[in-house]
Structure 1
Amino acid sequence: MKFDNILYGKHPLAWLLAPLSWLFCAIVQIRRQAYSIGLLTRHHLPVPIIVVGNITVGGTGKTPIVIALAQCFKKQGFKPGIVSRGYGGRAKTWPQAVYPDSDPRLVGDEPILLARHSGCPVAVAPKRIAAVQSLLDNEQCNVIISDDGLQHYALHRDIEIAVLDDIRRCGNGRCLPAGPLREPLSRLKTVDFILIKSTYSQKKTPFLEETGFLTTMTCELIMQDDIKCIVNKHSLRPLSTLRDKPVHAIAGIAYPARFFTHLRDNGLKLHCHIFPDHYDYQASDIHFNDDLPVIMTEKDAVKCQHFAGPQHWYLPITIRLPKALTERLLDTLKRKQYEPKTL
């Protein structure tokens, strides 16, 4: 039985776990209230903090959204920095600065993608306040974007963006362990923006419209039609050249179905290999006794680059943010008297 069937379906075990879910919700709300009234310390910083997070477990596509936001702010004259927990990283000391060629075993996989594609300083630490302070001490950042951390209340934030997946949404609507929610669904009413990640830019979101969340916008997830060779990123190959041909498809992400569907929609015949999210790959995991192409996500490729060969490819993914979101974010920063020239 897959755990996702409980969290995102109508499995009867969810009803049995409901009392634990109620207890979890109560603890979460007490903790949040403790920060609100000052019983627990919340750290304020001299630059605006924008948190991009989610209220569900598992991936919702936050990392490409953070990259797109950072690029947007750079174009507007800001000097953004990015912080993350560095999930899966096993560094002995924190915080850690992250560079495009950092070791994912030390800092995690997603932070390396952030460093490669944002062109911004990136720091990671289990306590995000330490990562933020590191950027302020060592870089000239005047706005900080936190990749995840919606529930990390020790870090004061000026803007909250909650990201939801258009397919899985909020699952069965229950909190852990009976459902996928880290916080009650009502938490969405307190964030500044709700961003729905979709492969269709105009896709409707009736679930949220019916429950009265008015700050909802849709961003478009763009899966490219060209794949890149892991060992030679200047080598591109159109997916159309693999139509009706068998390939190995590897995914160690929270929701691999969308990745596999995109490849199938391009006519590829897949031998699927699914691994846990943030999986620590070994060479034997991606080498097979044939000469078929092997295609994976870029997040997986980060961890496979040292033992990949010319048959290994990854699929680039980007995000197109709604213009209304970027305009309102910039307006919010200005209303809070944060201007790039004065920071």
Structure 2
Amino acid sequence: MRKAKSRGTGAMTSEAPPFWWEKPDWRVLALSPVSAVYGMVAGRRMRHAPREKVAAPVLCVGNFTVGGSGKTPVAIALAKQAKRMQLKPGFLSRGHGGSFARPHVVDAHHDAAKHVGDEPLLLAEHAPVAVTANRAAGAKLLMEEHGCDFLIMDDGFQSARIHIDYALVVVDARFGLGNGRVIPGGPLRAKVVDQLVFTSGLLKMGEGSAADTVVRQAARAGRPIFLAHVEPANPARFAGGRFLAFAGIGHPDKFFDTVRGAGGEVALSRAFPDHHVYAADELAGLAGLAKRDGLRLVTTAKDAARLRHGTAPAGFLDQLEVLEIDAVFELGHVPERIIGETLDAWRLRKLRG
């Protein structure tokens, strides 16, 4: 278990407006003309944008929407499977808030989240990560300087200018596609029908029925449907504990439920926007609340990554507990199947030239 830091509000907040995850209302209607244009442009871009082919197989782990769907633990699980198959995986990521003009390979021990993003720091614990908007250039860097022969792209499903051999789209079972509308009226990055054309397989994460409609739509389109969920990596550490849990991720409530699933009591919870950069006074406030009520502080691995090189008060990281999670596929052979089908598509691409 690692150490990290904390924060506060109460209701779910994120970069995605709350109305995106609610029944459509007047705001959706007012934004529908803009959503229509956005969807048309996004769909055309997916269909016609040039995508550079690289010399290694590329597996994209993406989603249909803005906001957290569980992509990062899935990407890590697939990298572990690639290693078991004697491959040397590497990750491609745009990063969040990254500031590098050229492709940069993440140093998990020295890079700060504000420079490379929080997800890349987590991925870098498992395989080399190239952070860049130019995924093809990042791929070449990983292949030439780090010997990577299997590339896993974290996000970039709709926009990356690199040829994708297999696109695994992750959908959260609890939140689904929200109100089902395209940005800015909803969380969809493009119309589902346009995105399904480029989808190789759909992964339903967790429990819930919100994703059932898109699952049926994908199945009718002939796409394989996989099931997975997240589990605490070390639940015994949290069983019976009382916590102040805080998170700045896409859907903080999922994290709070995971703490409860590990046997912990979430006595207080604080939710922050996705990728939130914590201020020192926020962290001090969280520590004070925890001390006042005799609670242990717990946060996500992504929040911990942002805190390591940040403004945490002295001693804060030492008292912070980090709940690690693993993506677990319902059928154990699925990761091997996905890797294998990616390799098959890559071999076919090479034969076609």
SS of alignment partner, residue 241 of structure 1: coil
Q: 1:138 to 1:173 in 2, by over 3 A?
A: same
Q: Which residue of structure 2 aligns with residue 278 of structure 1?
A: 275
CA distance in 1, matches of 2:99, 2:343: 39
Matches within 5 A, 1:123-134: 123-134=130-141
Q: 1:100 to 1:56 in 2, by over 3 A?
A: same
Tell me by how many angstroms 1:303 deviates. 1.8
CA distance in 2, matches of 1:106, 1:84: 13
1:218 to 2:227 alignment: yes
1:148 to 2:155 alignment: yes
Q: Could you tell me whether the CA contact under 8 Å between 1:88 and 1:278 is conserved in 2?
A: no
Q: Could you tell me whether the CA contact under 8 Å between 1:132 and 1:144 is conserved in 2?
A: yes
Question: Structure 1: any 5+ residue segments left out of the alignment?
Answer: 36-40, 227-236
User: What is the total number of aligned residue pairs between the two structures?
Assistant: 316
Q: Could you tell me whether the CA contact under 8 Å between 1:188 and 1:194 is conserved in 2?
A: no
CA distance in 2, matches of 1:54, 1:105: 23
CA distance in 1, matches of 2:333, 2:229: 13
Q: Could you tell me whether the CA contact under 8 Å between 1:124 and 1:131 is conserved in 2?
A: yes
SS of alignment partner, residue 190 of structure 1: coil
CA distance in 2, matches of 1:94, 1:44: 19
CA distance in 2, matches of 1:225, 1:140: 32
Q: Which amino acid aligns with 1:197?
A: M
Q: Which residue of structure 2 aligns with residue 318 of structure 1?
A: 326
Q: Could you tell me whether the CA contact under 8 Å between 1:264 and 1:270 is conserved in 2?
A: no
CA distance in 2, matches of 1:108, 1:52: 17
CA distance in 1, matches of 2:165, 2:259: 39
Partner of residue 179 from structure 1, selected from 182, 186, 189: 186
Greater mean deviation of Cα atoms: 213-222 or 74-83: 213-222
Tell me by how many angstroms 1:270 deviates. 2.6
Tell me by how many angstroms 1:326 deviates. 2.3
Tell me by how many angstroms 1:6 deviates. 2.1
Tell me by how many angstroms 1:284 deviates. 2.5
CA distance in 1, matches of 2:270, 2:81: 35
1:206 to 2:212 alignment: yes
Question: RCO (CA 8 Å, sep 6+): is it higher in 1 or 2?
Answer: 2
Q: Could you tell me whether the CA contact under 8 Å between 2:59 and 2:167 is conserved in 1?
A: yes
Q: Could you tell me whether the CA contact under 8 Å between 1:84 and 1:111 is conserved in 2?
A: yes
Q: Which amino acid aligns with 1:284?
A: D
Q: Which residue of structure 2 aligns with residue 10 of structure 1?
A: 23
CA distance in 2, matches of 1:29, 1:182: 9
CA distance in 2, matches of 1:281, 1:28: 33
SS of alignment partner, residue 319 of structure 1: strand
**RMSD (Å) for aligned C-alpha atoms:** 2.4
Question: Structure 2: any 5+ residue segments left out of the alignment?
Answer: 1-10, 349-353
Q: Could you tell me whether the CA contact under 8 Å between 1:56 and 1:180 is conserved in 2?
A: yes
Greater mean deviation of Cα atoms: 151-160 or 257-266: 257-266
Q: Which residue of structure 2 aligns with residue 250 of structure 1?
A: 246
What is the identity percentage for the equivalent residue pairs of Structure 1 and Structure 2? 30
Partner of residue 144 from structure 2, selected from 137, 140, 144: 137
Q: 1:114 to 1:302 in 2, by over 3 A?
A: same
Tell me by how many angstroms 1:89 deviates. 2.4
